[in-house]
Amino acid sequence: MHLHTWLATILPLLATLIAPLAPSVLTAQTDGLRALDGEWIYVEDRTEGRALDRLGPPMSSKFTMRVEEGVVILNGHGSGHRDVRVAIDGSVTEVKEPKRTVRYHGSWKDGLFEYEVHFEKESGNSGGIGLIRRSFRMTPDGLVVRVAVDPPAGQDSVAIYRQAQDIPLPAAAKATIGDLGWLSGAWVGTRSTGSSVEERWTPPLGGAMLAVSRTVNTSGKMVAFEYLRIVERDGGLVYVAQPGGAKATEFVLTELSGKRAVFDNPRHDHPKRIVYELSAEGGLSATIGQLKGGTPRRFDFKAEGGK
């Protein structure tokens, strides 16, 4: 058979074999990525050697990834960008900002999805972060997230994230609403910014305590408010918070010792723990933070009208 005749015969055949190959490979890659699809919540910092007070999420406490064919769509990854489409074929996604261009470059190989974020600043605008590298791998413990920031170059931060349904709920402590009678009253305090903050708790009655919280800045303007309640449920107590009147978030009482009450919700992004404690001197403290480590945020109150 002459060469040109052979080529005329074989090339159409090769075309029919190769044409479906790329889509099928792409589909197989996308199928492997499906495990990353959904909303992910920070569970635990696993950065080796990190001090207890520095434990915390290496990126947002909660983020989402939506998987489409050949693409992972990012939301809540800490850049302020929404619906960023990162291709796994190595192509670059550009996001234009007023003073810089941000470029995303991703890949998927051997069960690892990773992407880099390059921050290209305008001429004369120096300093700040130049590059962020993030990688995501599914393991039996959950989604392992590794983050490196350059500059400054240094140790990667590593943490476990899980979807809400895969995070165990805590065991509830036995208690009745009367056990928290010491929390009732009007409590006022001042934040480091000079803003005043108050919580006003009703006495326990009917299996519940109700409260409203308000923060007023130094100009006399209310800048935040929250509806609160503690209710009896299944032999324990549940703390229900609605900051700004938003959808309720519940925290279960897990510890009650003397006049200290701990409420936990490991499925919430932040805070995961709320602690109230009444001191021997009659002052009330409220702290919010992670279940382990980090630097909890603390509010100190005294009884309204007290010294």
Better-predicted residue by pLDDT, 121 or 19: 121
Q: Of 114, 137, 165, which residue constitutes the final position of a domain?
A: 165
21 lies in some domain: no
Say yes or no: 134 and 230 in one domain: no
19 lies in some domain: no
The CB density around residue 180, as the number of other CB atoms within 10 Å, is 22
Lowest-pLDDT range of 24-33, 52-61, 203-212: 24-33
The Cα–Cα gap between 274 and 211 comes to: 15
CA quadruple 87, 92, 98, 100: dihedral positive or negative?
positive
CA quadruple 275, 276, 279, 285: dihedral positive or negative?
positive
Q: How confident is the model at residue 14 (pLDDT cuts 50, 70, 90)?
A: very low
30 lies in some domain: no
Q: How confident is the model at residue 307 (pLDDT cuts 50, 70, 90)?
A: low
What is the average per-residue pLDDT within 196-204? 98
Is pLDDT at 28 greater than 90 in this prediction? no
Better-predicted residue by pLDDT, 11 or 35: 35
69 lies in some domain: yes
For the chain, give the percent of residues with pLDDT over 70: 87
Say yes or no: 156 and 131 in one domain: yes
What is the average per-residue pLDDT within 158-179? 97
Say yes or no: 157 and 182 in one domain: no
Per DSSP, the residues of 246-306 read: -S-EEEEEEEEETTEEEEE-TTSSS--EEEEEE-TTS-EEEEEE-SSSS--EEEEEEETT-
249 lies in some domain: yes
Is pLDDT at 153 greater than 80 in this prediction? no
Domain residues for the domain of 233 are 177-303
Say yes or no: 199 and 295 in one domain: yes
Total number of domains in the chain: 2
Better-predicted residue by pLDDT, 120 or 198: 198
Say yes or no: 47 and 132 in one domain: yes
* C-alpha distances in Å from residue 55, one per residue of 8, 155, 181, 292: 65, 14, 34, 8
Average pLDDT, the chain: 90
CB 127 within 8 A of CB 107: no
> What distance, in Å, lies between the first and last C-alpha atoms of the chain?
106
What amino acid occupies position 297?
R
The Cα–Cα gap between 129 and 149 comes to: 7
pTM for the model: 0.86
Q: How confident is the model at residue 98 (pLDDT cuts 50, 70, 90)?
A: confident
Q: Of 144, 165, 186, which residue constitutes the final position of a domain?
A: 165
Q: Of 99, 130, 165, which residue constitutes the final position of a domain?
A: 165
171 lies in some domain: no
Better-predicted residue by pLDDT, 51 or 78: 51
CB 103 within 8 A of CB 114: no
What is the average per-residue pLDDT within 215-235? 97
3 lies in some domain: no
* C-alpha distances in Å from residue 65, one per residue of 11, 33, 62, 113: 41, 10, 11, 11
Say yes or no: 95 and 196 in one domain: no
Say yes or no: 161 and 188 in one domain: no
CATH of the domain at 281: 2.40.128.20
pLDDT at 78: 83
Say yes or no: 246 and 195 in one domain: yes
For the chain, give the percent of residues with pLDDT over 90: 79
pLDDT at 305: 85
Q: Facing residues of 252 across strands?
A: 238, 264
